């Protein structure tokens, strides 16, 4: 039988593994697979075994520690207080970032340990210049929903064998906002706005196992594993005997001789080289690590490679009318509402807005920003926070920044990454803020336009397109199955192969495309 290797354990790797298993294959996932800290695991288990009303204050304080805020004012997430998803490993290339906010992950499950779980399909207009049509991609979204086993979540047709779809219960603030938007739906549509409750990769409360408890810890980690992680799928497939998993393996290069592939890696647990043979390899290691593996395999040194990106900005809104009980409500703290804005004066493609309602981060962030004055103004600020909504806006890659990555072996294996800002991006963010201000009555909220903050290039994790798919492979472009000309049986399956980065959340589309590639490729 052919030996099939998948490099990585993130969302694209989990999706490709499921597709290959459906074909009767038994792939091996080769992964660094850093586990979470025992202390963080213990804290998670403690919370999961205790009703939220009896959680200890010191336990909550331990997981709510924050990193320094990014350029857009939002701190990087941690998993129950642990930064294990962002840790580096021996033998890795040293990152040298300049004006950029990109990260790589060597954790089991990759960045899906901390993602926002937003699910949204692309539209035909958003991928009009891709070499594949929406009709070719769309069926694989349903396969992804099935492998997530969410019991339906509003993102599309319910997975086979599940109950009818459910949407997570919106927060009180979100319900009030949605009611205001609904009253003005027609007028908003004429102004280019469409909206819907958020679609999330989260088990609903009527899931046959254990659904969302609305404990409000979503941004710090879910004690009940209700937020989907790629590790859920991989562990299930391992448990069923459908896949092999090789953690502790750092892949360095791939070589092709005839029809055979040799993967050169480093066994981190035994501190020795590891050589793996394969007939086909799928690389889903994340944008930066996939670039490192492929560029080093091809000895593509000293030459820049361009990564496309969807720029992110944040914008606070203050609701006209407060809602009682916001700070004590049982709620989820992921995105609550999706809003799309189509305005050709901003850009030809739509801008995507994600609305977040109250969470425990808002008050300490504001107090920290105000310094000593925050202590004196704590009570009135608390009242403002109860009316505060936070908008995360995303622009299409056509008007966003890019990131250049280059391998420099001359100084101890350095990986240089440099952000390239796009002047159109900052202009577009200001125009979006002004549009929200012009339509404040229909939104029922005033945008604080002077607080609009644009993240650094690479911020927000919506990056890819470093090896974009085309009708034919022409390096660095890949063919429709994610192959560069030099490797007939090596398929890139993560965001690296997206031709452009639409403004909508990318993860769902990355998973669908990975499933498509793994379903259609030839296994020698």
pLDDT along the chain (524 residues), means of 10: 90 99 98 96 95 90 72 80 94 92 96 96 97 98 94 44 57 96 98 96 73 93 96 98 98 93 97 97 98 96 96 95 88 97 96 94 74 74 87 98 93 89 97 98 95 93 97 95 97 99 98 99 92
Q: What is the pTM of this model?
A: 0.94
Question: What's the token pair of residue 366?
Answer: 């504001």
pLDDT of residue 208: 54
Collapsed DSSP state (helix, strand, coil) of residue 141: helix
Question: What's the token pair of residue 226?
Answer: 């209700």
Collapsed DSSP state (helix, strand, coil) of residue 314: strand
Instruction: Answer yes or no: are the C-beta atoms of 434 and 411 closer than 8 Å.
Output: no
- Return the H-helix or E-strand segment holding 327: none
Helix, strand counts (H, E) of the chain: 14, 20
pLDDT of residue 184: 97
pLDDT of residue 409: 78
Question: What's the token pair of residue 50?
Answer: 């205790």
Question: What's the token pair of residue 49?
Answer: 């075994």
Q: DSSP character for 214?
A: -
State the Cα–Cα distance between residues 40 and 81, nearest whole angstrom: 7
pLDDT of residue 500: 98
Handedness of CA 224, 507, 107, 221 (dihedral sign): negative
pLDDT of residue 291: 98
pLDDT of residue 162: 36
Q: Domain 1-34+109-150+229-301+464-524: which CATH class? A: alpha beta
pLDDT of residue 317: 96
pLDDT of residue 43: 95
Angle (nearest 5°) at CA 340 between 337 and 343: 155
Question: What's the token pair of residue 415?
Answer: 């990986």
The closest of 23, 150, 115 to 517, measured between CA atoms, is: 23
Q: Residues 146, 152, 153, 154: what is their CA dihedral angle, to the nearest 10 degrees? A: 100
The closest of 164, 420, 222, 437 to 317, measured between CA atoms, is: 437
Domains of the chain by residue range: 1-34+109-150+229-301+464-524, 168-227+311-395+422-456
């Amino acid at each position: 039988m052919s030996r099939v290797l998948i490099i990585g354990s993130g969302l694209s790797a989990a999706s490709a593994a499921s597709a290959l298993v459906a074909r009767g294959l038994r792939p091996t996932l080769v992964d660094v697979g850093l586990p979470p800290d025992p202390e963080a695991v213990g804290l998670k288990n403690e919370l999961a075994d205790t009703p939220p009303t009896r959680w200890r204050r010191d336990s909550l304080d331990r997981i709510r520690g924050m990193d320094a805020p990014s350029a857009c004012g939002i701190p990087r997430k941690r998993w129950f207080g642990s930064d294990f998803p962002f840790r580096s490993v021996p033998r890795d290339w040293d990152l040298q970032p300049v004006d950029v906010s990109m990260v790589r992950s060597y954790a089991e499950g990759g960045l899906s340990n901390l993602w926002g779980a937003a699910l949204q399909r692309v539209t035909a207009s958003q991928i009009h210049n891709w070499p594949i049509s929406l009709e070719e991609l769309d069926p694989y979204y349903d396969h992804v929903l099935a492998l997530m086993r969410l019991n339906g979540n509003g993102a599309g047709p319910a997975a086979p064998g599940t109950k009818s779809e459910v949407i997570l219960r919106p927060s009180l603030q979100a319900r009030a906002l949605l009611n205001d938007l609904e009253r003005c739906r027609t007028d908003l549509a004429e102004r280019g706005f469409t909206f819907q409750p958020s679609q999330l990769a989260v088990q609903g409360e009527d899931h046959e196992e254990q659904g969302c408890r609305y404990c409000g810890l979503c941004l710090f980690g879910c004690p009940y594993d209700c937020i989907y992680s790629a590790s859920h799928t991989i562990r299930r497939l391992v448990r069923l005997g459908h896949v092999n998993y090789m953690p502790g393996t750092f892949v360095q290069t791939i070589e092709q001789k005839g029809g055979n592939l040799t993967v050169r890696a480093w066994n981190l647990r035994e501190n020795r080289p590891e050589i793996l043979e394969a007939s086909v390899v799928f690389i889903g290691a994340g944008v930066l690590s996939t670039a490192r593996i492929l560029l080093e395999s091809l000895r593509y040194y000293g030459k820049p490679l361009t990564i496309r990106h969807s720029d992110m900005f944040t914008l606070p809104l203050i609701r006209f009318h407060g809602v009682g009980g916001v700070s004590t409500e049982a709620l989820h703290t992921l995105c609550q509402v999706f809003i799309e804005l189509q305005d050709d004066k901003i850009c030809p493609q739509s801008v995507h807005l994600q609305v977040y309602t109250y969470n425990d981060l808002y008050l300490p962030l504001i107090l920290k920003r105000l310094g000593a004055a925050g202590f004196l103004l704590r009570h009135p600020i608390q009242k403002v926070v109860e009316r505060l909504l936070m908008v995360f806006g995303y622009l299409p890659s056509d008007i966003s920044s890019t990131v250049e990555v280059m391998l420099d072996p001359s100084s101890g294996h350095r990986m240089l990454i440099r952000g390239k800002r796009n002047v159109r991006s900052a202009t577009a963010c200001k125009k979006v803020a002004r549009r929200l201000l012009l339509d404040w009555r229909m939104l029922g909220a005033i945008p604080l336009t002077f607080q609009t903050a644009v993240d650094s290039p690479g911020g927000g994790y919506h990056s890819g397109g470093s090896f974009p798919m085309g009708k034919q492979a022409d390096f660095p472009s890949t063919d429709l199955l994610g192959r560069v000309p030099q490797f007939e049986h090596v398929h890139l399956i993560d965001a690296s192969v997206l031709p452009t980065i639409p403004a909508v959340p990318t993860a769902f589309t990355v998973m669908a495309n990975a499933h498509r590639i793994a379903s259609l490729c030839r296994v020698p």
